[in-house]
Amino acid sequence: MATAHDDPRLTDRDGLARTLGEAARRAAAVLLAKRAARDARLKADGTPVCSADLAADAAAKQALAELLPGLPVISEESVEEIAPAEVFILLDPLDGTREFLASGDSYCVAIAAIRAGRPLAGAIAAPGIGRLWYGGDRSFVQALDADVTPHGAPRQVHVRAEPADGPRMLVSRFHGDTVSAGVTAALAKGDGAPVSSAVKFGLIASGEADLHVRGGTTMEWDIAAGDAILSAAGGVVLTLDGKVPRYGERGRDFRNPPFVAASCERLARLAIQKAETCRC
């Protein structure tokens, strides 16, 4: 087995992203098949889990073992089982469980490959809206049919120029916070559009929105894939203290600091300034 330094699978970041996209797509097909699942229970951290989470987790791990053998996988559903390595996978088999259980569409599978604390590549498969995003050196989106098979050719995506009349801001449908609300009121064109899960990163990467701020708690597997995709599309993800997020931080139980995802650094820095005002 090649080491992390000379593993050819890690050299072609776009190819790695496509591979992650295929694993995410296979897990997303399982989510769609389990669409009627309503057997939710609360985990120790108070977040819901249902049979669809667990089925997609198994499908994603099986696909990753086949497509990227030897890379450890840290999943939301088995976080204590695997320790971070120099290169590892972060997996959220169902990001947006509340959205899924409420029969909404903006839930997804999110998978990222991490090296030295930063994403090499990431993929987000959103079967409810029929889209697969993946990014390495560049970012792409591909349509998914109703059965989650790819439709047509992938299309490279890039963030859009900042609108002159203010950014379109995406807010969490189920996890609002005062910081996000304050930045929305200060900067956004109209009310923020409610969207669940890492789908928000894909929409910004595709030029359909401009800004998302999260002042509450998230986990690394919630944002790592989106960070990879948005960064490769020309956008930026920063913590609200202005730093680049780091992944594989077991000492903080894989929790993220509050963050901003934006189409450009200027907008991200402006949102950070407004967020600081909201927190005072």
Q: Report d(CA 52, CA 35) in Å as an integer.
A: 8
pLDDT of residue 161: 96
Distance CA 53, CA 49 (A): 6
* Residue 95: count of CB within 10 angstroms of its CB: 28
- Among residues 79, 64, 68, the alpha carbon closest in space to that of 249 is found at 79
Q: How far apart are CA 175 and CA 206, in angstroms?
A: 23
- Residue 174 CB: number of other CB atoms within 10 A? 13
Per-residue pLDDT 10s for the chain (280 aa) are 445 667 888 999 999 999 999 999 999 999 999 988 888 888 877 788 889 999 999 999 999 999 999 999 999 998 888 888 899 999 999 999 999 999 999 999 999 999 999 999 999 999 999 999 999 999 999 999 999 999 999 999 999 999 998 899 999 887 778 888 888 888 887 778 889 899 999 999 999 999 999 998 899 999 999 999 999 999 999 999 999 999 999 989 999 999 999 999 999 999 999 998 876 5
In CATH, the number for domain 170-279 is: 3.40.190.80
- Decide if 59 contacts 27 (C-beta within 8 A): yes
**Domain residue spans in the chain?**
8-157, 170-279
pLDDT of residue 42: 84
**Rounded to the nearest 5°, which phi and psi values hold at 28?**
-65, -35
Q: How far is Cα 69 from Cα 63, in angstroms, rounded to an integer? A: 9
Tokens at residue 69, please?
């053998």
CA distance 270 to 150: 38
Exposed / middle / buried, residue 47 (Cβ in 10 Å: 0-12, 13-18, 19+): middle
Q: Select from 3.30.70.20, 3.40.50.150, 3.40.50.2300, 3.30.540.10 the CATH code of 8-157.
A: 3.30.540.10
Q: How many residues does the chain have?
A: 280
Q: Is the dihedral of CA 139, 143, 149, 152 positive or negative?
A: negative
Sequence-distant (≥ 6) Cβ neighbours of residue 127 within 8 angstroms? 28, 29, 31, 32, 108, 144, 148
Query: What's the confidence (pLDDT) of residue 1?
Result: 42
Reading the block at residue 214, the tokens are 């999260």
Distance in angstroms (rounded) separating the CA atoms of residues 157 and 145:
19
Largest pairwise CA distance in the chain: 53
C-alpha span between 110 and 90 (Å, rounded):
8
What pTM does this model have?
0.95
* DSSP assigned state of 196: -
Nearest to 24 by CA among 226, 159, 244: 226
DSSP string for residues in 141-188: EEEE-TTS-EEEEEEEE-PPPPPTT---BEEESS---HHHHHHHHHH-
